[in-house]
Structure 1
Amino acid sequence: MRQIVNTANGSYDVLEVQEVPDLVPQSDELIIDVKASGLNFADILARKGQYPDAPPKPCVVGYEVSGRVREVGNNIREDWIGKEVLAFTRFKGQAEQVAVKPGQVFEKPESLSFVDAAVIPVNYITAYLLIEVMGSLQSYESILIHNVGGGVGIAALDIAQHIGATTYGTASRRKHDFLRDRGLDYAIDYRNKDWYEELMALTDGRGVELITDPLGGKEWKRSYNALRSTGRLGMFGVSSASDSSSGSFRATWNMLKTVIQMPFYHPLPLINKNKGVFGVNLGHLWHEGDKANTWIRKIMAGVEEGWVNPHVDTTFSFDDVDKAHRYIEERQNIGKVILEP
């Protein structure tokens, strides 16, 4: 089988498609023939050496796949064989085959293609945690979704609309028509205007009750200041640490600068201002399998009910993985980017 290998920290040339032996299942594993594999911003950071959870190089990254079960271990029911599924992967997802435990695998809804199904595990579960589980968004409240045109952003928009909340979102101007058609109430052009000033003007200086923020650095302080009383800030990434530079020193400096700019939240101001902050890292929830099972079944129900609508911007072959990384890094995508073997 073939797999995408991050051979070292660096630019696009460190990504190689390599041939390795086919996988053989352990007694408690399923082998999936991968039809589609998700590409996330964490994979961009991992390539550059800016993602602390990534395995040592050389490595294969990737948190999510969809495909068909081809083989099972001795302790797994054989009726899994041939089923169309989606799965969480603890890395190694960007390959033609993956080995996973049964708790990581879910039957694919018939209404979703393999490509669309690969959007569900990371984007929709992250958004569900930010909005429903920890953000507790209510129908009478409002939400600002940073990077609403990205994969998690569009998933968050689906969920917020289902709840009935008023939605604000930051995105480049060229994405606004698509997002309005998708149902976004207020689009903010963060590239040509100050998003904070625009949001405060739109809300008559009040701010919003929930903000989902993957930016990091000084933007977390600005997002906190944009919260209305009883507001919550959900932090889940540090995309502001990334730029198009390829040098490892520059990447390390950007991450360090972003960390230095991060705010500290003292309990007393949180109490006095009636605000809350929380973080989400899906990669640190592998020990919560029972909860994850509940969350993904909620999203699966949303697929059947019609309020979960995965949007794939484009797909790239494994051989064009460098182009896929560049496409995301230059913020060209609206929604998800998928790799197909």
Structure 2
Amino acid sequence: MFRSVVVHNLSDDFSNISIENIDRQDLALDEVRVKVNSASVNFPDLLMTAGLYQYKPEIPFTLGMESSGVIIEIGTDIKDFDIGDEVIISAFTGSFSEELVVPEIKVRKKPLGLNWEQASTYTVAYLTAYVSLITKGDLKPGETLLVHGAAGGVGLAAVDIGRYIGAKVIAVASTQEKRDFLLSYGADFVLSPDKGFKDHVKEITNNLGADVIYDPVGGDVFDESIRCIAWNGRLLVVGFASGRIPSIPANMPLIKGFSVIGVRAGEYGRRSPEEGREHFAMIDKLISDGSLNPHIHKIYSLDQTIEALKELSNRKVIGKVCINP
């Protein structure tokens, strides 16, 4: 038996979560069993516990989208992995557990030189930011990038990638502590999300506006963003952490010539596996060679999972938090 964090019903107060002993299941031919050494918490984990995420797992389910660990058993059809391989796991559920079983397609080998926490924290956030800024947003050196929710997991990844590309990065965050961190992390300018940030963006850009806007927040932030975007700009819709899905007057992109682009990064791998593998290979390389630098805010034990979820829910996290079973 092993311990897992299990969701039994849908609730937004985490009362539906418990840590339970689970019996081992037999492996299918294409599955591997992994001893989990570290997992990380993502905003969709919060949404899934309340039934608010686009992917809705069958209840009960084990929480956790990404983790790292060691393969301890393989199915008979497995050719590319062996017992003892150190791997990264990317799946919608299952990672907040001492062990998990996943299809071979959901694992990849951990880059050399990364510890377990580093390996568990970057797949979701950096894949989202990479697909958004490079594949969809076509961000170029010298362009201005405006990042909302910049101290969160996907926001901080966007700041990091923007810095790597050579863009001028304007990072928006809710507290002075977060803004100070973002300056130390490589942002060129920091702003508060309070109403009126558009005027500061225009001032920074000599009234031209931001070339690329990365928005995992939605709501009022989106509404104001369309008023400080550059001609031929790209507004990347990444999520709706504010809780409100905004709408846009169709004349705005017509008048200003900008594009509104939806980003669902993981769907690339599902619809185009080869392109998905290329994305993973690139972020693995950039992380392992030190070009990108994921930030770990805090490490929790499996017994502290609810505390970790509350920390993220209360917007106290800078970067990512880990859960080590």
| TM-score class normalised by the smaller sequence | over 0.9
CA distance in 2, matches of 1:79, 1:141: 42
CA distance in 2, matches of 1:176, 1:325: 22
Structure 2 partner of 1:324? 308
Structure 1 length-normalised TM: 0.88
CA positional deviation for 1:283: 4.7
2:177 maps to 1:174? yes
Does the 8 A contact of 2:45 with 2:65 survive in 1? no
SS at match of 1:52: coil
Structure 1 partner of 2:291? 307
Structure 2 partner of 1:9? 10
Seen in structure 2, the aligned counterparts of structure 1 residues 329 and 76 have a Cα distance that, compared at 3 Å, is same
Amino acid at match of 2:108: F
Does the 8 A contact of 1:54 with 1:61 survive in 2? no
Structure 2 partner of 1:197? 199
Amino acid at match of 1:328: L
Match runs of 1:1-341 below 5 Å = 1-10=2-11, 11-77=13-79, 80-171=82-173, 172-190=175-193, 194-241=196-243, 258-259=244-245, 262-264=246-248, 266=250, 269-285=252-268, 286-341=270-325
Show CA shifts across 1:112-158 (max 9, x none): 11111111210110010111110100002010111111111221122
Amino acid at match of 1:67: G
Does the 8 A contact of 2:132 with 2:265 survive in 1? no
Structure 2 length-normalised TM: 0.93
Does the 8 A contact of 2:41 with 2:322 survive in 1? yes
Amino acid at match of 1:314: K
SS at match of 2:61: coil
CA distance in 1, matches of 2:92, 2:249: 31
Structure 2 partner of 1:253? none
CA positional deviation for 1:276: 0.6
Does the 8 A contact of 2:199 with 2:228 survive in 1? no
Q: Structure 1 segments of 4 or more deviating over 6 A?
A: none
Which deviates the most, 37-46 or 163-172? 37-46
Structure 2 partner of 1:250? none
CA positional deviation for 1:102: 2.6
CA distance in 1, matches of 2:58, 2:102: 20
Seen in structure 2, the aligned counterparts of structure 1 residues 111 and 78 have a Cα distance that, compared at 3 Å, is closer
Show CA shifts across 1:26-51 (max 9, x none): 10111111111121111112222322
CA positional deviation for 1:92: 1.9
Seen in structure 2, the aligned counterparts of structure 1 residues 304 and 337 have a Cα distance that, compared at 3 Å, is closer
Which deviates the most, 331-340 or 57-66? 57-66
Amino acid at match of 1:16: S
CA distance in 2, matches of 1:53, 1:264: 25
CA positional deviation for 1:62: 2.0
CA distance in 2, matches of 1:293, 1:71: 24
CA positional deviation for 1:99: 2.0
Does the 8 A contact of 1:24 with 1:31 survive in 2? no
CA positional deviation for 1:206: 2.0
Does the 8 A contact of 2:182 with 2:190 survive in 1? yes
Give me the identity figure in percent.
29
Does the 8 A contact of 2:62 with 2:93 survive in 1? yes
CA positional deviation for 1:196: 2.4
Show CA shifts across 1:274-303 (max 9, x none): 211111223544233211110011111212
The Cα RMSD (Å) is 1.8
SS at match of 1:137: coil
CA distance in 1, matches of 2:100, 2:17: 19
Give the number of aligned pairs: 321
Seen in structure 2, the aligned counterparts of structure 1 residues 113 and 97 have a Cα distance that, compared at 3 Å, is same
Does the 8 A contact of 2:172 with 2:179 survive in 1? no
